[in-house]
Amino acid sequence: MEVFTILWREFLFFKKRAFKITSSAVITPLLYLLAFGWGLGSNVSVEGFNYMYYIIPGIIAMSTMNTSFNAVAIRISVARLHEKSFEYYMTAPVNMYLLTLGYVLSGALRGLYAGMIILSITYLFGVYIKITFSFLFICFLNSMLFAAFGYFAAMTINTHYDMNRFTSFVITPMTFLCGTFFSLERMPNFLKNFIELLPLTHAISGLRNIALENITNHFSILILFMYFLAFYALGVYASYREI
């Protein structure tokens, strides 16, 4: 019951602010597409593929990451630290597993929504990439794990400034280092090995393999699922610790 209640409340929140939410989710990825894709990469190829087609899966993965993380992290941090309304959940007889799942699902749906908008924009400009069920599943799984991470982050911070540390030291580095805009083949081995452990790397790799080669990387899906379970468990633990 808690899951559907939260999903319905978040739907009403989204409905009232649909234009603002959509525009904020689209503007940064669209600028990347314009600058790196249509601007820089019209005559460039990477790993034998047109650069425009190469970066689209990365931008979709990046967009689902940022949107799902922020959708949960900002909402809960404001409720906890500013409005003090999150305390009602802590004192009510609710199941923390379901409470966490409800927020994670709502953030994941927002992330998937943002990814599909970016995909629609590329189609409007005549750039078509391979879309399969596995492609959509990886987008959703990537959104789930970063929504769970956003929930965990929001439940552990003590001030609004602390959230900037998660963004500066985790989200932003992954945006630029996980192969969104370039191949990892030329990276130093020690750095490449570290980057390949990060969840966004597997999301980008999984989407890119499907879009460019129609190959589903089940190993990347497994890694993403394990990251989701870990972040979800941390979020539930942080919820119980808050009580």
Residue 125 neighbours by CB under 8 Å, 6+ apart: 38
Query: Are 163 and 153 in contact, with CB atoms under 8 Å apart?
Result: yes
pLDDT in tens, the chain (243 residues): 678 888 888 888 888 888 888 888 888 888 888 777 666 656 777 888 888 888 899 999 999 999 999 999 988 888 887 777 666 666 666 788 888 999 999 999 999 999 999 998 888 777 788 889 999 999 999 999 999 999 999 999 888 778 888 888 999 999 999 998 888 888 889 899 999 999 999 999 999 999 999 999 999 999 999 999 999 999 999 988 876
For the chain, give every domain's residue range: 2-242
Q: In a 3-state reduction of DSSP, which class is residue 36?
A: helix
Q: Is 36 exposed, middle or buried (0-12, 13-18, 19+ CB in 10 A)?
A: buried
Supply the pTM of this predicted model: 0.91
Residue 144 amino acid letter: M
Q: In a 3-state reduction of DSSP, which class is residue 46?
A: strand
Q: Is 106 exposed, middle or buried (0-12, 13-18, 19+ CB in 10 A)?
A: buried
Residue 53 neighbours by CB under 8 Å, 6+ apart: 127, 129, 211, 212
